[in-house]
Chains A and B, each alone.
Chain A
Amino acid sequence: MRTLIRFFQRHYLFFIFLVLEGAAFALLVQNHFVQRVAYGNFSGNISNVVNEQISDWNNYLHLRQINEQLIRENTELRNRLPESMYAADAEHSFSVDTVNQVKYQYLSAAVINISVNKQYNYITLNKGAEQNVAKNMAVMGPDGIVGVVVGVSDHFATVLPVINRHFRVSTKFKKNHYYGSLQWDGKSYRHAELNEIPLHVPVETGDTLVISGYSSNFPEGAPVGTVSHFSKKDGNFYDIEVLLFSDFRKLFHVSIVKNYMKLEQDELEQLIKPAAND
């Protein structure tokens, strides 16, 4: 017994180290798999208040850039007004939804914290449950898609952006509607990679990529990026590098997209799944 106590006395430093390192490792493993969302809400309240101040200050310094983004977006929206369309027939006129119901609603939010140089980047927005933000809502920037809401507290929301290695979204070519899966390779915050495009699809640099209809969060046709480089991988698929439209270092204001029919769609699809397994 005494030798045991002496052993602990001699190596107490090592045991303190083991206990604390073990605690850190437990937190690490746990959070690696649950994507740190629950914790984000807890720790958020401390740092978000400070981050909001910083982002206010930052916003002021970038007013010119923000104005330019807003003007560009306004012009884009004005172009979509019914008045600016040539009224040919009903088929070509622009409508939000086929049965005149609102399908998507946009809520503007400010970016109050963002990282771009990690492998698992996150964004924090200044809108939360009180503004009816919920999990899985899509987030769009002025130029293109940004990410998906993964955590919500009363006043804040955390977003899993395209530049996080957990992110996946179904993306298609605007010109011929071939679709693949877009994900981030963790290298440059400006580029992502598009997988699962078979070799017989004609690909050219500069091709525009948009969200395919198979995503239930993002509106179909939301801009993603352009093909900046492609090569033939061994196998039957292309290796396509995509230049993202969203520049995450110049992201100040975003829109959170609420899909009013997502719940209905998900419920319906849930019904198919058990049947498909039989």
Chain B
Amino acid sequence: MIRPVIINIFRLLLLVFLQLFVLNHIQFSGYVNPYLYILFILWLPFETPGWLTIVLAFALGMVIDVTSHTIGYHAFATTFIGYMRYHLLALIAPRNGYEFGMSPTVPSLGLAWFMKYISIMVVIHHVILFGIESFGMGDYLAATFRAIVSSIFTILLILVCQFLTLRSR
């Protein structure tokens, strides 16, 4: 029981650190800004209660907000996908449901399932985030483009993380 908790706390610290000190400083042409930190929510164990997922998602968003001077932006987007994850997991469950000990990763459920899962979550998160950012500015085409390109980069980074953890096991 205590092991997954420690692993998740460690993962949270690592992802937040990576986001704040590496990814937020990488800027390709002003369009691409991957938000890898949401991988923490994506990789929470299936056994995590729904309310805990939402609270953790909100807290994670607030941490990113406070440290990058964008109050409310990330919290809004992460809370949304935190709530959505609960329903999405039920929606895309394999035919015989999730078994005990399974985790939302490639080795447990396969690449096709994983891709479907992360793509939906990442795209919705990014669309909300970039949508809020450009709200009222009228430049929605540019915002959509930014959201799409950044989503692709985030998904690629998540896959890289997945395969890095595969090799170490």
**A residues adjacent to B (C-beta < 8 A):** 12-14, 16-17, 20-21, 23-32, 36, 39-40, 43-44, 46-47, 54, 115-120, 122, 158, 165, 185-189, 249
CB pair B79 A43 closer than 8 Å: no
- Is there a chain A Cβ closer than 8 Å to B66's Cβ? yes
Chain B, Cβ-Cβ closest to A21: B79
Pick out which of these stretches binds chain A: B68-76, B109-117, B153-161.
Answer: B68-76
12 contacts between A and B (CB under 8 A): A13-B86, A20-B55, A23-B58, A24-B58, A36-B71, A43-B69, A116-B27, A118-B33, A186-B134, A188-B29, A189-B27, A189-B30
Tell whether A27 pairs with B71 under 8 Å between CB atoms, given A13-B50, A21-B76, A119-B133: yes
**B residues adjacent to A (C-beta < 8 A):** 20-21, 24, 27, 29-33, 50-51, 54-55, 58, 61, 65-73, 75-76, 79-80, 82-83, 86, 132-135, 137, 139, 142
CB pair B27 A28 closer than 8 Å: no
Contact residue among A13, A118, A120 (Cβ-Cβ distance under 8 Å from B83): A13
A54 to B17, CA, bound (A): 12
A219 to B76, CA, bound (A): 41
Question: Chain B residues near A188 (CB, 8 Å)?
Answer: 29-30
A54 to B27, CA, bound (A): 17
Contact residue among B51, B68, B76, B133 (Cβ-Cβ distance under 8 Å from A25): B76
Name A's interface SS.
helix
CB pair B27 A40 closer than 8 Å: no
Tell whether A186 pairs with B139 under 8 Å between CB atoms, given A12-B51, A21-B80: yes
CB pair A43 B54 closer than 8 Å: no
Considering residues A24, A27, A46, which has the most beta carbons from chain B within 10 angstroms of its beta carbon? A24
Chain A, Cβ-Cβ closest to B73: A28
Question: Chain A residues near B51 (CB, 8 Å)?
Answer: 12-13, 16
CB pair B30 A116 closer than 8 Å: yes
CB pair A25 B72 closer than 8 Å: yes
Question: Chain A residues near B134 (CB, 8 Å)?
Answer: 119, 186
Instruction: Looking at the assembled complex, report how far the CB atom of B115 sits from the nearest CB atom of chain A, in whole angstroms.
Output: 26
CB pair B67 A47 closer than 8 Å: yes
Contact residue among B33, B76, B139 (Cβ-Cβ distance under 8 Å from A28): B76
Instruction: Looking at the assembled complex, report how far the CB atom of A3 sits from the nearest CB atom of chain B, in whole angstroms.
Output: 22
Interface pairs A-B: 8 shortest CB-CB = A28-B72, A27-B72, A24-B75, A17-B83, A24-B76, A31-B71, A20-B58, A43-B66
